[in-house]
Amino acid sequence: MLAHEGGRVLATLRTPTEALAAVGRLKPDIAIFDLLLLAPSMPEALRSVIADNPETAIVMMGMDDQKAAAREAMDCGVLGYMRKPLNEANLLTSLLQVKTIMACRKDLRAPATGEGPQHRAVIIDHDALARGLLRVILEDNGFEVVAEAGSGFEGLMAVERHEADFVCLAVDLPEIDGLNTVACLRAVHPDLPVLMVTARADRETVSAAIRSGVQDYVLKPFDAERVIASIRKLVA
């Protein structure tokens, strides 16, 4: 599938030792690991290979019943996750999003000022890849991401635990959807800036978001410059 889309596979390996060594030796753009391959010592192995190879995007693949391990991998810095059985659509979608994240890291890195982060953010989105892309965009432009959450309830808890200056919030969320999450936020934090991130461009969704207290919104897939312009306007 990769070759069919113009990719070049540098190596296919069967053991953790061979795979981890190959990343350092071959310096690929993307390295894809099976969760089972790294299971015994996954956090340490992932953190090590990511720290030693910052230009390589690490992607994991696994089954639906490995969600806990997938979340742990994301916490280690993995940029993508593909569910088995693989098909061309989910493979290419995951790799395209990872490519976007890596491009942001290279092209949108803000100059170092030595002044520390400008503002602190909480990201609430059920899509781990979308959260990862937003984190890269924000951090590369001087903002600090103090927490991520995959559901409305987790997001509300994260906002209470961390002193955030603004929230990036998706519309489609499990447990409590984005619009109801905004209502809950407004009840406790009436002045907290909220940027809605959504794949929905219909007038009804946008109008409902604005009525609920969202100050601005951006559409997925993200345009990094639009995201940063919106956030700077929110926190000005």
pLDDT in tens, 1-32: 777 767 788 989 888 788 888 999 999 988 88
What pLDDT band is residue 39 in, cutting at 50, 70 and 90?
Answer: low
pLDDT at 106: 59
3-state secondary structure of 66: helix
pLDDT at 43: 78
**How far is the C-alpha of 132 from the C-alpha of 135, rounded, in Å?**
5
pLDDT for residue 103 is more than 80: no
pLDDT for residue 148 is more than 90: yes
What pLDDT band is residue 144 in, cutting at 50, 70 and 90?
Answer: very high
Q: Where are the domains of the chain?
A: 3-107, 120-235
pLDDT for residue 124 is more than 90: yes
**How far is the C-alpha of 126 from the C-alpha of 216, rounded, in Å?**
20
Q: Mean pLDDT throughout 163-191?
A: 88
Q: Mean pLDDT throughout 134-139?
A: 90
- Specify the pairing of strand 30-34 against strand 80-83: unpaired
pLDDT at 110: 46
pLDDT at 55: 84
What pLDDT band is residue 123 in, cutting at 50, 70 and 90?
Answer: very high
In the CATH scheme, what is the code of domain 120-235?
Answer: 3.40.50.2300
**How far is the C-alpha of 139 from the C-alpha of 97, rounded, in Å?**
17
pLDDT for residue 65 is more than 80: no
List the single range of 98-102, 145-149, 167-171, 193-197 with lowest mean pLDDT.
Answer: 98-102
Q: Mean pLDDT throughout 136-147?
A: 90
Which DSSP category does 165 fall into?
Answer: S
Tokens of 185: 């936020």
pLDDT for residue 120 is more than 90: yes
The domain made up of 3-107 has a fold known as Rossmann fold (3.40.50)
In terms of Cα–Cα distance, which of 37, 23, 31 is closest to 2? Answer: 31
List the single range of 5-9, 29-33, 122-126, 127-131 with lowest mean pLDDT.
Answer: 5-9
Which DSSP category does 141 fall into?
Answer: T
Q: Can 3-107 and 120-235 be said to share one CATH topology?
A: yes
Q: Where are the alpha helices (DSSP H) in the chain?
A: 16-26, 35-38, 42-52, 67-75, 88-107, 128-139, 152-161, 178-188, 203-212, 224-235
Q: Is the Cα dihedral 145, 151, 154, 157 positive or negative?
A: positive
